[in-house]
Amino acid sequence: MRRGLESDVFKIFAYVAASLVLGAVLAPLLYQLGKGLAEVSKEKDYSGLIRYVADAAGRSEFPRFFDRAVMLAALVLLFPLTAWLKLGRPPGSYRDTPWSLRLPDNVVISDRGQPLRRNPQGWWQLSTGMVLAAGLLLLSGWLMLQAGCFVWRDAPFSTRGAPNKFLMEIDLAKAFTKLLPGALVVSLLEEILFRGVLLGIFLRAMRPAPAIALLSFLFAFVHFLQPPPMARVPDPEAMNAGFVMLGQIFGRFADPLSMVSRFLILAAVGVVLAYARYRTASLWLPIGLHIGWILGIGLFKAATWPVIGLPEPVRWLVGMTLLEGLLPLSVVIVTGIMIHSMTRPREAPADYRS
């Protein structure tokens, strides 16, 4: 790791830790505020945004308030982080930073990471990444349907004869229109942050392989910090309620099945996205892959139910969604291999190399 630059990497991890601690402190306060607003709204005729927030707060449990508190803490601490990293540099040196969108070759400096460059194949890589990621993921989902691990929502039985107790009509067009806006926004924002800004910072401090690995661990860690499905806090209004929830979240790291079935997939996804950015020196391909994965997971979830009661060994291979299990992990790895082959530099013909 290069002297003087490793501090930027440390600051990123310190920012994540501080956001979690501040979010844990704010969570019970936000819970009390939200539930209080919900109670007051029953007596007063609010409209518009206040009514929407009050209704949402009334329906929400503490884990959702915790999640929003962490997001609020991350937003608040983003401003001191910007100053701490000295991102606001003089205009003359801005183009030497890894978050610059384009750099001429004569100003590229080796300790500034890998700058993002103009990509004439951007739209092609975006569309290819979407089709590749979604296509391979949905193909694996179809195979799991044939194996009886999932059942179509409108089918009375799975291929293995498991009954479907929740028959429901499938409307993929409606699901797609709901998924697409969120997929576009989330993919764009996360790729700009993780692969645009943060990977550039990491590449300033270390070689590409450890930079990609470390950032991918951070990416998986941040996405893994979701409250467990059955998470409950005895007293949501207690001042330590956020830290109780934080303890339950970190308890997931002690669950081997959870780590293998979900954390490893998130880390592998981070590696493929970071590698795609590194190989192309642009964000087009990783954004396309990210959109494709979100759409593939969402469309499959909108059309199927997981079959309950499968043997424990099967759950290591196939989880409750396309983001869990060793089989989806292998699909992500295959996608990464195809990205490596697709972005391999083309050699000039022999006549032009002499």
Nearest to 125 by CA among 266, 268, 291, 299: 291
Sign of torsion over alpha carbons 187, 299, 308, 329:
negative
pLDDT band at 12 (very low <50, low <70, confident <90, very high): confident
What are the residues whose beta carbons fall under 8 Å from the beta carbon of 170, sequence distance 6 or more?
A: 152, 153, 154, 302, 303
How many angstroms from the chain centroid is the CA of residue 330? 18
Whether 89 has a pLDDT exceeding 50, the answer reads no
pLDDT band at 216 (very low <50, low <70, confident <90, very high): very high
Q: Which range has the worst mean pLDDT, 173-177, 282-286, 328-332, 342-346?
A: 342-346
pLDDT given for residue 56 in this prediction: 76
What whole-number distance in Å separates Cα of residue 185 and Cα of residue 141?
Answer: 25
pLDDT band at 118 (very low <50, low <70, confident <90, very high): confident
pLDDT given for residue 103 in this prediction: 38
Whether 108 has a pLDDT exceeding 70, the answer reads no
pLDDT given for residue 341 in this prediction: 93
What whole-number distance in Å separates Cα of residue 286 and Cα of residue 156?
Answer: 38
Percent of the chain residues past pLDDT 90, beyond the cut: 39
* Consecutive H or E run containing 151: strand 150-152
pLDDT digits (tens, 9 = 90+) for 18-33: 999 999 999 999 999 9
Mean pLDDT of 131-150: 95
pLDDT given for residue 213 in this prediction: 93
Chain-wide mean pLDDT for the chain? 83
pLDDT given for residue 152 in this prediction: 95
What whole-number distance in Å separates Cα of residue 20 and Cα of residue 71?
Answer: 9
pLDDT digits (tens, 9 = 90+) for 219-277: 998 888 777 767 788 888 899 999 999 888 888 777 777 777 788 999 999 999 999 99
pLDDT given for residue 82 in this prediction: 74
Bigger pLDDT: 144 vs 2: 144
pLDDT given for residue 90 in this prediction: 44
How crowded is residue 122: how many other Cβ atoms within 10 Å of its Cβ? 16
Whether 63 has a pLDDT exceeding 60, the answer reads yes
Task: Judge whether 88 and 82 are in contact, CB under 8 Å.
Answer: yes
pLDDT digits (tens, 9 = 90+) for 340-353: 999 876 543 444 34
- The answer, as to whether pTM is greater than 0.85, is no
